Amino acid sequence: MNIQEVILVEGKYDKIKLDSILDATVIAVNGFSIFKDKDMRQLIKRYAEERGIIILTDSDSGGFLIRKHLLQIVPPNQIKNAYIPQIPGKEKRKIKPGKAGFLGVEGVSSDIILDALKKCGCTPRAPGIPITKADLVLAGLSGSKNAAEKRQLLLQHLHLPQTLSANAFLNAINAFMTKPEFDAWLQKVTNPAKHL
């Protein structure tokens, strides 16, 4: 399923689950750290403006608290809410159930997640060619002497926080640029005289 909106989940295991069943940009807000992470909040606002967001958190008190916080930082017309049902159980990687005793996003079936996304009115997106880690290496944005400088230029061009991790950087450029736009930006940066 290709989805236009950026999907916000609580943690990395939720992201891994969604990445395995969707063609979408999925961002883990890292649980309660979203309350203090100004760069992540700025990035979420930008995702919301450009593509809209879907909030998909666990159906427990922690998930609803994170959802409530996200609802306060993004205008309502840029948000869709997807909900999973409260199903008793525990995730396979855990020794015991969580405090509420319900499965989280990572623990429910793929069908339940897909159904929740359909019910919230997610927007289908035409598949495109993604920008990959290999593209970043070939472009000198990773693994080269002045890769950090080049990444900063691209982040400035996209008006994004300068402190994004490598994976967040790749997610962001895929969310805000198509592969042809990325290639055109590279040409402009490497051959500025052609674009005067």
Most confident of 50-64, 157-171, 182-196: 50-64
Per the structure, the complete domain to which residue 13 belongs is given by: 6-119
Residue, of 74 and 165, whose pLDDT is higher: 74
Q: Using CA atoms, how far apart are residues 175 and 162, in angstroms rounded to an integer?
A: 16
Q: Using CA atoms, how far apart are residues 192 and 184, in angstroms rounded to an integer?
A: 11
- The predicted structure's pLDDT at residue 195: 43
Among 72, 89, 119, the domain-final residue is 119
Per-residue pLDDT reduced to its tens digit, 109-118: 999 999 999 9
Percent of the chain at pLDDT above 70? Answer: 96
The DSSP secondary-structure symbol of 92 reads: T
Q: Are residues 115 and 138 part of one domain?
A: no
Residue 77 to residues 8, 10, 54, Cα–Cα distance (Å): 16, 21, 11
The domain tally of the chain equals 2
